[in-house]
Amino acid sequence: MLAILRKEINSFFSSSIGYLVIALFLILNGLFLWFFKSEFNILDYGFADLTPFFTLAPWIFIFLIPAITMRSFSEEKRLGTLELLLTKPISGWEIVLGKYFGAFVLILIALIPTLLYVFTVYSLGNPVGNLDVGSTLGSYFGLLFLIAAYTSIGVFTSTLSQNQIVAFIAAVFICFVLYFGFEGIANAAVFGDFNLTIEKLGMKRHFDSIARGVIDTRDVIYFLSVTIFFLFLTVIQLKKR
């Protein structure tokens, strides 16, 4: 597994993909949070708070993470190296986890520079240091769980086709439905007393719950369940080959 993980990381940074992903994530966040006049602009927000960043980041990740993971198995299929990989003396889970953690680590590397936002908002507070540290830490933990779930979905969809665009679109669709779709259905108020239950099936409610600074085991179990479920589906897809 570690050999595959290293191979994935090296492949990201031996080409322009790794650098492009990190730069794109930071540039998009920087433009929306500090330059564009919008609801996400921290300087116009009026509070020493990173809520705009934690509202915007899940939406950027919906597109960014599938763009990273779409090549995980699709490229192996296209190049005809997947069969060779499956003949190696390693289990399907080790292959999947190696690919998964390779993409996950890359996203973490892209997320680390955003800690500068915390320092900036901390310094801009009146008085200095007027920042809800608990909520900020909770939101970062929420992002980590969200990244874990998105990445597992992206790795799974990359096994469905050797066409990377198909894998990308499928991952974006599933991530969107799981993050916002259930809340949208619940807000339509067509299921009566079941609206709250439907909303709990979506990622956004659990992410918002963690972002409040209180890490509930139910939210953690939800994200871990989604992540493991899609990794399990990925292993099944590999075994079919």
Could you report the per-residue pLDDT of 149-198, keeping only the tens digit for each? 999 999 999 999 888 899 999 999 999 999 988 777 766 656 566 666 77
Site of tokens 């192996």:
76
pTM exceeds 0.85 for this model: yes
| Range ranked top by mean pLDDT from 46-55, 128-137, 212-221 | 212-221
Q: Which of 26-35, 158-167, 190-199, 218-227 has the lowest mean pLDDT?
A: 190-199
Q: Which domain holds residue 71?
A: 1-240
Q: What is the domain count for the chain?
A: 1
Residue 35: exposed, middle, or buried by beta-carbon count in 10 A (0-12, 13-18, 19+)?
exposed
Q: Are 103 and 65 in contact (CB under 8 A)?
A: yes
Amino acid at 71: R
Amino acid letter, 235: V
pLDDT in tens, 59-80: 999 999 999 898 888 877 777 7
Six token digits for residue 227: 């992540």
Query: What rounded mean pLDDT belongs to the chain?
Result: 84
Q: What was the pLDDT predicted at 194? A: 67
Read off the tokens for 62.
């919906």
pLDDT at 128: 67
Query: Percent of the chain at pLDDT above 90?
Result: 31
